[in-house]
Chains A and B, each alone.
Chain A
């Protein structure tokens, strides 16, 4: 006999959690480790408890389900639960990323559990793909155990440092493990522009462009910071800056 499957329930509504507990009663080989009522608690519990399986609500206070996964780097053993599928989930095969639409039946719940058991410990490559597709509404970074939520509106620019990116916002900066290209794909191209191999800048933070030599230009931010700009970066930013002049 295998050891019981360790499970974590994450949902902000007490009744929804109780329902899942009820549905889990017949699954005697599953042990409920804990329940979390918000994204921050979930991220902490996932890191400390390392559950085999997570029933993860997407729409949650503090951090949403996707942000929880991104912060914890979790790529397997997740069943999403959501009331309304407005997310990228729709595009994915149910067998790749399983999700339960509320309200769901015991039968549907059991199917999801069975499938999760079958996939147990196999990494689901679709989860990173799913995360990469969701458009960011803000950035979440964990730094020395503390979770920072950075609204996109506050960001000035993001700089690449080897395997890290350095986010500069409101005069502060913070490091995050992520590639600049991956971040670029998640940002709105009308608001953020890649001006250089190592820099993404937020358009509303740009004050002007300055020519420093015959064929080199820099972007000047309202904060006074000057950022290098490549030729292709100039081509990308030019139409936006022109629009701003109008």
Chain B
């Protein structure tokens, strides 16, 4: 969109400014005794309006040369060329107009254009066109920046939507179908356990759906969700899976994004406990310290490389999520030492 021509208000102001400039030029003509007031105005007013519209065409010259594809020499050539050309075209039209008005049967019409004055007009016009080119360039650059910002904001919004979408579909199909298979097995072995597993599964899914609608939940709510998840996994894996959960009183009401811990616990089971013949203990600790919420999840692991699916996608997602939500104020790291894998997270301590 052209910055001047496409907006009526700006256009009217522009025409007005050109009129004032026209009067100024007429005044100069009168002062230099080149014409009388009537002839000067008849020459200068249309001339300046014409120049004004020629100047706005600089926008299209700039647009035709995207910043990314510019080469210095080419830009210099095109800018100076178009300036000289448009100044020449303008001056020719002005001279034509001047001669036309001279032919009118009015004594005051016509301007005596001396060669010096013509050169001056030509020079000024080409300079103005050059300035216009540069001004339009600046305008376009601003427009680009604003566009970029708008696009970035839109992208962020999209990313958030995508995140919610991801959360909703985060339920691992393996988890669902394996759980159903366990229930199927339990129906003949232990009907009561089959029933309680069905209820846990239902509660977990219900809770997941409920929290994923929200931007943040309390740590206690997230833990409840994890408890349902762990109850199911404990039925599936039996004695192999053990957990310790420690939470500071002060951390209980802290705000966290939904489904923040559950994927971490799921990973601990999938890449840690599952690979160990005798299983092991997952330790989850949540403490507050200096207006920070510190969370750590650790689990024993096999010394052999784990399942290849554990190439850290889940952890990378976690990092991206923290970065997206908290920027520099959040932090996640993980390390593996002495067959223990530990993830540590630090986010600002916030309450709703």
Contacts and interface: CB of A to CB of B under 8 A. Distances in A.
A38 B178 contact: no
A-side interface mostly? loop
A104 B238 CA distance: 22
A104 B180 CA distance: 10
Given A16-B178, A84-B177, A62 B183 contact: no
A83 B178 contact: yes
B238 A14 contact: yes
Given A38-B277, A149-B305, A19 B178 contact: no
Nearest to A152: B308
A15 B194 CA distance: 11
Contact of A103 (B173, B183, B188, B275): B183
B128 interface: no
Contact of B275 (A13, A62, A101): A62
Nearest to B186: A15
Nearest to B182: A15
A111 B174 CA distance: 24
Contacts, number: 70
Contact of A64 (B174, B184, B235, B307): B307
Which residue of A15, A16, A83, A149 has the most chain B CB atoms within 10 A of its CB atom?
A15
Contacts of A102: 177-178, 180-181
Contact of A137 (B275, B304, B308): B308
Contacts of B181: 13, 15-16, 19, 83, 102-104
B227 interface: no
Given A13-B237, A138-B305, A18 B189 contact: yes
B177 A83 contact: yes
A174 to B, nearest CB: 15
Nearest to B271: A61
Contact of B307 (A61, A83, A86, A152): A61
Interface string B308-329: 1100000000000000000000
Given A84-B173, A103-B181, A12 B305 contact: no
A19 B305 CA distance: 30
B185 interface: yes
Interface in A1-29: 12-16, 18-19, 22
Contacts of A101: 177
A19 B185 contact: yes
Nearest to B236: A13
A151 interface: yes
Contacts of A14: 237-238
Contacts of B189: 15, 18, 22
A103 B302 contact: no
Interface size band for A: 20 to 34
Contact of A83 (B174, B274, B305, B308): B174
Contacts of B275: 38, 61-62
Given A38-B277, A103-B177, A16 B182 contact: yes
A147 to B, nearest CB: 9
Contacts of B185: 15-16, 18-19, 22
Contact of B277 (A18, A37, A152): A37
Contacts of B307: 61, 64, 137
A103 B309 contact: no
Contact of A13 (B182, B304, B305, B309): B182
B304 A62 contact: yes
Interface string B173-202: 110111011111110110000000000000
A62 B301 CA distance: 11
A114 B178 CA distance: 24
Nearest to B237: A13
Interface string B256-281: 00000000000000000011010000
Interface of B: 173-174, 176-178, 180-186, 188-189, 235-238, 274-275, 277, 302, 304-305, 307-309
Given A13-B181, A61-B275, A138-B308, 14 more contacts: A18-B189, A22-B188, A37-B277, A62-B275, A62-B304, A83-B174, A83-B177, A101-B177, A103-B181, A103-B184, A104-B181, A137-B308, A138-B305, A149-B304
29 contacts: A13-B181, A13-B182, A13-B236, A13-B237, A14-B238, A15-B186, A15-B189, A15-B235, A16-B182, A18-B189, A22-B188, A37-B277, A38-B275, A38-B277, A61-B274, A61-B302, A62-B275, A62-B302, A83-B173, A83-B178, A84-B177, A101-B177, A102-B178, A102-B180, A103-B177, A103-B180, A103-B181, A149-B304, A152-B308
Listed from nearest, the 10 A-B pairs whose CB atoms lie closest are A137-B308, A19-B185, A83-B177, A102-B181, A15-B185, A103-B181, A84-B173, A61-B275, A103-B184, A61-B274
